[in-house]
Amino acid sequence: MLATALVATVLAACSTARPMLAGQVEQATPVDAKSAPRELSIFSINDFHGHIQAKSPTPLMPRLPDAQTGEIKAQAAGGIAYLAAAMSKLRAGRAHAVFVAAGDLIGASPLYSSLLKDEPSLAALGELDLVASALGNHELDAGLMELKRKANGECPALGCAWPDYKGPGFPYLAANMLDAQTGKPILATHIIKEVAGFKVAFVGAVTRDTPMVVIPKSIVGLRFADEADTLNALLPQLRAEGAQVLVAVMHEGASHSGGANDPSYECPGLQGRGVDIARRLDPAYAIIISGHTHQAYTCKINGRLLVQAGSYGGWVTESRLTLDASGKVLDAQSVNHPVLQSAYTPNPAFVALVQRAAALTAAVRNKPVAELKQGAQRSVQAPFGDSTLGNLIADSQLAYAKKRGSADLALMNTGGIRADLTVEPGRPVTMSDLFAIQPFANELVVMTISGAQLRELLQRQLPKDDASPRLLQVSGSLRYQYSVGADGQAKLGAVSVGGQPLNDQRKYRLVVNNFMAEGGDGQSVLRQGTERVSVGVDIDAMVELLSENPEVVTQIASGRIRRE
Summarize pLDDT for 31-55 with one digit per residue, the tens. 454 578 999 999 999 999 999 999 8
Q: Counting Cβ atoms within 10 Å, is residue 490 exposed (0-12), middle (13-18) or buried (19+)?
A: buried
Name the nearest CA neighbour of 193 among 130, 147, 251: 130
The arithmetic mean of pLDDT across residues 500-521, rounded, is: 94
pLDDT category at 468 given cuts 50, 70, 90 is low
What are the distances in angstroms from CA 296 to CA 130, 247, 549?
A: 20, 19, 39
Task: Report the pLDDT value the prediction gives residue 66, as an integer from 0 to 100.
Answer: 76
Task: Report the pLDDT value the prediction gives residue 26, as an integer from 0 to 100.
Answer: 45
pLDDT surpasses 70 at 293: yes
Give pTM, 2 decimals: 0.82
What residues does each domain of the chain span? 5-357, 368-563
pLDDT surpasses 80 at 30: no
- Residues 311, 61: contact at Cβ < 8 Å? no
d(CA 491, CA 405): 33
The arithmetic mean of pLDDT across residues 349-356, rounded, is: 98
Task: Report the pLDDT value the prediction gives residue 2, as an integer from 0 to 100.
Answer: 35
* DSSP strand pairing (97-101 vs 130-134): parallel
Q: For residue 485, report the phi and psi dihedrals to the nearest 5 degrees.
A: -80, 180
The arithmetic mean of pLDDT across residues 172-185, rounded, is: 98
d(CA 476, CA 474): 7
d(CA 406, CA 399): 10
Task: Report the pLDDT value the prediction gives residue 466, as an integer from 0 to 100.
Answer: 56
Measured at the CA of 509, the angle between CA 508 and CA 510, to 5 degrees, comes to 110
DSSP string, 233-290: HTHHHHHHTT--EEEEEEE---B--S-S--TTS--TT-BSHHHHHHHHS-TTEEEEE-
d(CA 397, CA 416): 13
Task: Report the pLDDT value the prediction gives residue 489, as an integer from 0 to 100.
Answer: 87
Task: Report the pLDDT value the prediction gives residue 59, as an integer from 0 to 100.
Answer: 66
* DSSP strand pairing (304-309 vs 561-563): unpaired
Please give the single-letter amino acid code of residue 215: I
List the single range of 95-99, 332-336, 517-521, 526-530 with lowest mean pLDDT.
517-521
pLDDT surpasses 70 at 28: no
pLDDT category at 521 given cuts 50, 70, 90 is confident
* 562 contacts: CB under 8 Å, gap ≥ 6: 383, 384, 385, 480, 481, 482
d(CA 547, CA 564): 36
pLDDT category at 465 given cuts 50, 70, 90 is low
Q: Where do runs of H (alpha helix) occur along 119-258? A: 119-127, 144-151, 210-213, 227-233, 235-240
pLDDT category at 461 given cuts 50, 70, 90 is very high
Does CATH number 3.90.780.10 belong to domain 368-563?
yes
pLDDT surpasses 90 at 8: no
Task: Report the pLDDT value the prediction gives residue 136, as an integer from 0 to 100.
Answer: 97
Q: What percentage of residues in the chain have a pLDDT greater than 70?
A: 92
Q: pLDDT digits over 241-283, tens only?
A: 999 999 999 999 998 889 999 999 999 989 999 999 999 999 9
Q: Counting Cβ atoms within 10 Å, is residue 41 exposed (0-12), middle (13-18) or buried (19+)?
A: buried
Task: Report the pLDDT value the prediction gives residue 327, as an integer from 0 to 100.
Answer: 96
Task: Report the pLDDT value the prediction gives residue 25, as an integer from 0 to 100.
Answer: 43
How many Cα atoms are found within 13 Å in the side-chain-facing hemisphere of 17? 23
DSSP H helix total and E strand total for the chain? 15, 28
Whether 5-357 shares its CATH topology with 368-563 is answered: no
Does CATH number 3.60.21.10 belong to domain 5-357?
yes
d(CA 523, CA 305): 34
d(CA 207, CA 227): 7
Q: For residue 265, report the phi and psi dihedrals to the nearest 5 degrees.
A: 65, 15
Task: Report the pLDDT value the prediction gives residue 16, as an integer from 0 to 100.
Answer: 34
DSSP 8-state assignment for residue 100 = E
- Residues 318, 43: contact at Cβ < 8 Å? yes
**Across all residues in the chain, what is the average pLDDT?**
91
pLDDT surpasses 50 at 12: no
Name the nearest CA neighbour of 113 among 562, 330, 432, 493: 432
